[in-house]
Amino acid sequence: MTQHESKHMQAGVVGWPIGHSLSPRLHGYWLREHGIDGDYQAYAVKPENLKDFIRSLPAQGICGVNLTVPHKELVFPFLNYIDDLARKIGAVNFVRVEDDKLYGGNTDGYGFLTNLQENAPTWRPTAGPVAIIGAGGAARAAVVSLLESGVPEVRLYNRTKSRAEKLGQIYAEYYDPARLTVGDWVDLSSGLSDITLLVNTTTLGMKGQPPLEIDLSRLPNTAVVYDIVYNPLETDLLRAARERGNVIVDGLGMLLYQAAPAFEAWFGQKVKVDPAVRHYVLKGLEV
C-alpha cells in the first residue's frame, strides 16, 4: 500500500456554475480503476467566496482541486506558489495542497497539445502559421503551448478585438511580438489561406450556445481543424471541416489529457488516456 493509498484522499473541481462538469466522472473512473481510497467532487463556489474556500482546503483535508470558469484567473492572489507556466498562461487550472501550502499550476496547455499530437500525428508545429479563434483562458493555454512548441506565427481572432490585442501585449513580454498577430474578425476567412491549424477556443458551437459562423472555403485541405468544444463531440465546425477533407480533432481529449497530470499530483498514480476512459466519459454526455 502506497503512502497515497494509506488514507482517504479528497479532491474536486471548483466552478460557478459547476453542474455541467465531466471531471468528477473522469476522476472517479481512475480512482476505481486503480483501487484508490479517494473521492473527487464538484464544488459550486461563487466568485466572492473563492478566497475563503481555497484558503480552507488544508483544513478540509482536500489534497487539491481543479479550477474552471470563472476562477482560473481569480485564484492567483489566494495561492502560496504559482509555477512559471501558469504565470505565463495567466491562468491556474489546478491547485495542489502540500504541507498546508497551496501550489497553483496549469495543465491546459499540456492537454491541448497532447490531444493535438495524438489525433493529428502528421501535424508539425514548425510547418506554418496557426489561427486561433477566441481570447479567453483556453486561448491563452493554446497560444502558449503552440508558441512554446515552435509555431512560427499565431494569428488571433476574437469578436472583441481589444481582448485579443491585450493578449498580444501580454505575450510580447515572453515571445517575439512578430510571432503573435491579431486580426480583424471580418478578415478571419481570408486569414486561413496559408495556415496549418485552425483552433476554436470559444464556446460558440457548444450545445445551447450560438453557432460559430465561419467560411472555410480558403482553408487548405491539409490544415488540421481543432475545436475544444466536446458537447456536441462533433461540432458544426468539425463536421464542415471533415466533409471537405480536413483532419479534425475534438475537444474531449483535451479534457482527458489535462486531467492526467493533476490526478498523479494528488493521488500519486500515473493514469492512461485510453479508449475505455474516453468511452466512459462520453457516456456522461448522454445523461
Residue 203 assigned as binding residue: no
Residue 6 assigned as binding residue: no
Residue 108 assigned as binding residue: yes
Rounded to 5 degrees, φ, ψ at 25 are -65, -45
Q: Is residue 114 a contact partner of residue 149, using CB atoms and an 8 Å limit?
A: no
Residue 105 assigned as binding residue: no
Residue 222 assigned as binding residue: no
Q: Is residue 142 a contact partner of residue 111, using CB atoms and an 8 Å limit?
A: no
Residue 227 assigned as binding residue: no
Residue 150 assigned as binding residue: no
Residues annotated as catalytic (active site), given as ranges: 72
Q: What is the CB neighbour count within 10 angstroms for residue 74?
A: 16
Residue 56 assigned as binding residue: no
Identify residue 238 by its one-letter amino acid code.
L
**Residues whose CB is less than 8 angstroms from the CB of residue 121 and which lie 6 or more positions away in sequence, other chains included:** none
Residue 228 assigned as binding residue: yes
Instruction: List, in sequence order, every beta strand (DSSP E) within the chain.
Output: 9-15, 38-44, 62-67, 81-82, 94-98, 101-105, 130-133, 154-157, 180-183, 197-200, 224-227, 247-249
Annotated binding site for shikimate: 21-23, 68, 93, 108, 230, 258
Annotated binding site: 21-23, 68, 84, 93, 108, 134-138, 158-163, 228, 230, 251, 258
Annotated binding site for NADP(+): 84, 134-138, 158-163, 228, 251
